[in-house]
Amino acid sequence: MGLFVYLRLIWDNLGGAIFWGIIWFLIEYMLVISGKIKRKEIILKDIMGRLAGLKKKIYTAIYKIPIIGRKKEQVLALDSVSLDIGTGMFGLLGPNGAGKTTLMRLLCGILEETRGCIFINDLKVSQHTEDFQSIIGYLPQEFGLYENMTAYEYLYYHAMLYGIINIKERIEKVNDVLKRVNLYQRKDEKLKNYSGGMKQRMGIARTLLHLPKIVVVDEPTAGLDPAERIRFRNFLGELSQDRIVIFSTHIVEDISGSCNNMAVLNNGKVLYKGSPEKMLEFAEGKVWTAEVPDDEFENLKNRLNITQHIRVDGRIRIKFISEDGGKIESKRVKPSLEDAYIYLLGKS
């Protein structure tokens, strides 16, 4: 009301005062509602009672307004993670949302840790971000390329960004990495014409331009066909001979085929760190196989942690993880890395 009188005085214009009064009322109303949604933790889709439909629409609209509406809730992405990574290939295994990408972004200085520290040769990454970025090559999980450029132009531009100012050296390095990733023959083709695997190789070629001591690749094999995946894995293996290669994946096969050291992450916590062979010991004696009829399989599906099932001669052969053999007629089998991984996830 005070605002209304004030506006009436300064404008001497009733229409203007009413207009601004309505605007003021709407803003106040939105602030009150957004406060109410947060305070009472109202779940918008569960709004009931009189005029529920209208309320739902109004509340949802207010909730979507930036600043006054939705506020991002803080998530504990990594919790008490302690890892020691040396030269060679290090695999980070974990389901989606486990915290692998956050860990990698922290390593590369893209994100800053809220608590805890990452050290490289006893130096804090957060205090020497720029210095360490010059020895780290990072390939994000989902990355784009400048599609209108040719492969050569793309790498040439990034070589400039990496501060390779000597022209001869720049040309040599670009040609060298193109040869290393087997794309030299197609260097003058535009990147938009490249396949998924070739784009992935292009991404890794970029990270190799400044000869990094540490290569960090986030789920590089996702979306590649099996042949490309193996080729790419082998390529990372070659790289790891004289540097640290940290690569994350949720495909167990990638780890078993290439890493000598690994860690399993789930919900931001490290469930296991060590060699893949050692991880098998967790599931030793806990993996079983059995052949069951169709109707029994339906019941067992809900009761057991079945990792594989295949139809054989009218029955279903299942492989499952259990401490006691599932109380059915079954026999123990040797666990695979995938079994051990599923066992660990189940335990957490």
Partner 1 sequence: MENRISLKEHLINIYQSIKLNEKFIFSQRFFFFFASVLLYFIIVCVVNYFNSSAERIGEEGIFIWLLSVPGIALVFYPSMSLVTSETENRTIEMIFSTAGSRYKVWLARIGVLYLFVAFIIFILCSLSFIFISDFPFLGYFFHSLFPPIFISSLIIMLSVIFRSSNAAGLLSLVVIFFLLITYPPLSSTSFNLFLNPYIKPQNIDYALWTSVVMYNRIGILLIAGFMLYYSFFRLNKREKYI
Can you give the binding site for partner 1, defined by CB under 8 A? 105, 108-111, 130-131, 133-134, 136, 138, 140, 142-149, 153, 156-158, 160-163, 165-169, 206
Strand partners, 316: 292, 311
CB of 2 to partner 1, least distance (A): 29
> What does the alpha-carbon distance between residue 233 and residue 235 come to, in Å, rounded to a whole number?
5
Judged on CB neighbours under 10 Å (0-12, 13-18, 19+), 219 is buried
Q: How many whole angstroms from its chain centre is CA 297?
A: 34
Q: Rank residues 110 and 328 by Cβ distance to partner 1 and give the closer one.
A: 110
Per-residue DSSP letter, 216: E
> In terms of Cα–Cα distance, which of 211, 260, 213 is closest to 237?
260
With the C-alpha atoms ordered 77, 83, 88, 90, is the resulting torsion angle positive or negative? negative
Minimum distance from residue 115 beta carbon to partner 1 (Å): 15
CB of 347 to partner 1, least distance (A): 31
The least distance separating partner 1 from the CB of residue 192, rounded to whole angstroms, comes to 12
Smallest distance from partner 1 to CB 165, Å: 6
Between 86 and 163, name the residue whose CB sits nearer to partner 1.
163
Q: Give the integer Cα–Cα distance in Å for 248 and 45.
A: 37
Whole-number minimum distance, CB 216 to partner 1, in Å? Answer: 8
Does residue 222 contact residue 145 with C-beta atoms inside 8 Å? no
270, two tokens: 């490290």
Q: What is the DSSP letter of 265?
A: E
Closest CB to partner 1 among residues 21, 140: 140
CA distances (Å), origin 3, targets 9, 16, 24: 10, 12, 9
- In angstroms, what is the minimal distance from the CB of 111 to partner 1? 6
Task: Give the nearer residue to partner 1 in terms of CB position, either 85 or 149.
Answer: 149
Q: Where are the alpha helices (DSSP H) in 162-260?
A: 167-180, 196-208, 226-239, 252-256
Min dist. Cβ of residue 101 to partner 1 (A): 10
Please say which residue, 148 or 308, places its beta carbon nearer to partner 1: 148
Compute CA distances 126 → 107, 115, 265, whole Å: 9, 11, 22
Query: What span, in angstroms and rounded, lies between the C-alpha atoms of 239 and 232?
Result: 11
CB of 315 to partner 1, least distance (A): 48
Task: Tell me the C-alpha distance between 36 and 49, whole Å.
Answer: 17
**Cβ proximity to partner 1, 51 vs 167, nearer residue:** 167
| DSSP strand pairing (119-120 vs 123-124) | antiparallel
Residue with smaller CB distance to partner 1, 41 or 130: 130
